Structure 1
Amino acid sequence: MSIREKYEMAKKEYEKWGIDVDNVLEELKKVKISIHCWQGDDIAGFEVNQQELSGGIATTGNYPGKARNPEELRKDLDKALSLIPGKHKINLHAIYAETDGKFVDRDEIKPEHFKNWVSWAKKNGLGLDFNPTIFSHEKAQDGLTLSHPNKEIRDFWIRHCVASRKIGEYFGKELGQTCLTNIWIPDGYKDIPSDRLGPRQRLKESLEEILKIKIDKKYNLDSVESKVFGIGAESYTVGSSEFYLNFAAKNGILNLLDTGHYHPTEVVSDKISSMLLFFDKVALHVSRPVRWDSDHVVIFDDELKELAKEIVRNNALHRVIIGLDFFDASINRIAAWAIGARNMIKALLSAMLLPNQKLKVLQDEENYTERLALMEEFKTYPMGAIWDYYCEINNVPVKETWLDEVKKYEKEELSKRK
């Protein structure tokens, strides 16, 4: 039986519940996932004075073939994108600037240092998102940046963030797709602080200074990202969830939720509905924490599916900016991109193939028996046949055949990198 025939049979199962599967696939095509570039080179970047990874961030593993320069990274992204259905965005960090072999410190980066990325994105019909890189730098070695007691250090990082926002604006204008520029900092203390307020006061003032330069939201949106703790900042994080949530709400910017940046018993899926009540848009970094913010490759697990359900059932596909954020150096990096991105899209499809309105009515009617029964039965509905067809019509490999492409690419390209 062909993929199309299996699709037509599966479609009938969903049509019984009033689900227009053809329309679901058309809507899914419009969803753009922001795919993080840093999976391809273990967050090394291409700075002339490349420094050791720091700031509570670590990659584990030494799988051969990581990208050594921008050309290789873009080539690897091309391969990964050929395995992922749909047209998406690429998320860049400031350390991926191209400066023609000249040292350019981070407070001096300009749009021209990303012109090759923009040309590549135009050629491939992609959007670009951006992040200032506020770690792995001599001015971040003691774990404090925008909250540092030394004004010169704070000012350096303020200039870097302002420059980053201007680069985001450049991306938005050039590509016709709004860029999200997200600020995350590693600031915190290893042991119990004697002053919690002071660093947060300094961070607040630094962020306000960064936002003084007005940029049209048509081209660039700003977000801030919290974290519960990091390596070297186990006892106190300046940019806590409460700090950024309040700052974002007061200053009209986005609060980005990273699925690994909360206590182990917290789930981001439960936060989406609350955020949608008070923010026009919500930004996500989707990762997989294993006991802590370990940034494992996203798998098709219960929390990913629940996250997707909250986006879909609240009609928020156009309001939630979905980005990926994981980095595994122990497996093939192209495979990691493909696994994570395909699973994110697959989770959205799974959520779109549920009788969400019917389930809401059952809850309001307090008919919890039928609600639970339907939620369980739909777990074994033939979503896989719909997914296979979606891959086929998007000209990407179906099922595990994408792995053959990765193996071929590894043999022909990655194995030659030393």
Structure 2
Amino acid sequence: MVQKAYQWAKEKYAAIGVDTEKAMNILSSTPISLHCWQGDDVGGFLFRDIALSGGIQATGNYPGKARTPQELRQDLEKALSLIPGKLRLNLHAIYADTAETVDLDQLEPRHFTSWVAWAKENNIGLDFNPTCFSHPMADSGFTVSSPNQKVRDFWIRHCQACRNIAAYMGNELGAPCVINFWFPDGYKDIPVDKEAPRRRMMESLDEIFAQSIDERYVLDALESKLFGVGSESYTVGSNEFITAYAVSRGKLPCLDAGHFHPTEVISDKIPSLLLFCKELLLHVSRP
């Protein structure tokens, strides 16, 4: 039945000039990056006693979730054996594999050497993400757009450290590491001043990206969000802000299919952005 349906679809697409076999071959050879946090609901291993924050709707309480990097890698190996096509792994900073007590702004490549070794063994690439939530410095609901300079500086240092880690991963594995920057900053209620937080975020991002890193090793991407729990009325990193910043600075806009209004579809956004951007990052957790 499935084969008959595909044959019917193949004929219909061929009538409008689309070669489905060619499309399937391209898809099977294009690496898709699996989010590591699907293995434990964004818990990570650096701060085991800190509750998930950032307006993320994940409970983290399903039975049998990975408790250590070793357990997560075992689970991922099973997933890799079952998922067709070429794959990569997308890591968050809180998944560092270390016995040290280290804060986010002090992370270094050496805290991820086991992940790089594992990626080499499994012949996959790695992507990376700063973790700008689930931390006391994010308790106010603001990170790089915070009015508190001390808070902003902490998150700037964290993001700078993460870019260095991404460069290490890309260099070691011989393929660019896509590092995606997403920030939970926002208000539950409508603020009087909507410009100042965005100006602070812009200035912080400029500082984060001040160091030039070879695109053979790192591709910087920025992700917007519509709202989160606790930031229902105002998100600093809105689609308009993030898109404008990314295009103006030569970064990759990240389109998450679940981060827009119900009447919006990213299929409208992709061809528009590709007129102005060389590449896009897509999060396809929502079909």
TM bracket (short chain): over 0.9
CA distance in 2 between partners of 1:93 and 1:61 (Å) = 15
Whether 2:261 is the aligned partner of 1:263: answer yes
Larger Rg, first or second structure (1 or 2): 1
Structure 1 vs Structure 2 CA RMSD: 2.2
* Contact kept in structure 2, 1:11 and 1:21, CA below 8 Å: no
Taking the aligned partners of 1:16 and 1:93, their CA distance within structure 2 comes to 41
Match runs of 1:192-271 below 5 Å: 192-271=190-269
Distance 2:26 2:254 in 1: 24
SS across alignment from 1:82: helix
Indicate whether 1:131 and 2:129 are aligned: yes
CA offsets, 1:266-290, max 9 Å, x none?
A: 11121111011110001111122xx
Q: Counterpart of 2:80?
A: 81
CA distance in 2, matches of 1:11, 1:124: 37
- Report what 1:53 is aligned to: 52
> Cα distance, 1:48 vs. partner?
4.5
Identity, % of aligned pairs? 57
Unpaired runs of 5+ residues, structure 1, are 289-303, 305-418
Mapped contact 2:42–2:60 kept (Cα < 8 A)? no
1:66 aligns with 2:65: yes
CA distance in 1, matches of 2:215, 2:137: 30
Deviation digits for residues 184-229 of structure 1, max 9, x if unmatched? 0110111111211111111000000000011001110101111111
Spell out structure 1 runs of 4+ moving beyond 2 A.
9-29, 60-63
- 1:331 alignment counterpart: none
With over 3 angstroms needed to count, the CA separation of the structure-2 counterparts of 1:203 and 1:65, relative to structure 1, is: same
1:94 aligns to what?
A: 93
Query: Is 2:47–2:94's contact at 8 Å kept on the other side of the alignment?
Result: no
**Structure 2 CA distance, aligned partners of 1:16 and 1:268?**
25
Q: Which amino acid aligns with 1:74?
A: R
Task: Give the TM-score normalised by the residue count of structure 2.
Answer: 0.93
What is the letter of the counterpart of residue 131 of structure 1? N
1:79-119 superposed Cα distances (whole Å, 9 cap, x missing partner): 0111111221100000000122x210000001111111101
1:184 to 182, 185, 195: 182
Shift of 1:50: 3.9
Residues 143-172 of structure 1 deviation map (CA, whole Å, 9 limit, x = unaligned): 000001111110000000001011111111
What residue number does 1:278 align with?
276
- Mapping of residues 94-133 of structure 1, within 5 Å: 94-100=93-99, 102-133=100-131
Structure having the higher helix fraction is 1
Conservation of the 8 A alpha-carbon contact between 1:46 and 1:70: yes
Q: Which residue of 1 aligns with 2:38?
A: 39
Give the corresponding residue for 1:164: 162
Q: Is the 8 A contact 1:190 1:234 kept in 2?
A: yes
Shift in alpha-carbon separation, 1:249–1:70, aligned structure 2, 3 A: same
Distance 1:126 1:226, change over 3 A: same
**Aligned partner of residue 222 in structure 1, secondary structure:** strand
Cα distance in structure 1, aligned partners of 2:106 and 2:177: 20
Q: Which protein has greater RCO, CA pairs closer than 8 Å, 6+ apart? A: 1
Question: Is the 2:43–2:60 contact (alpha carbons within 8 Å) kept by the matching residues of 1?
Answer: no
**Match of 2:94, SS?**
helix
Aligned residues: 284
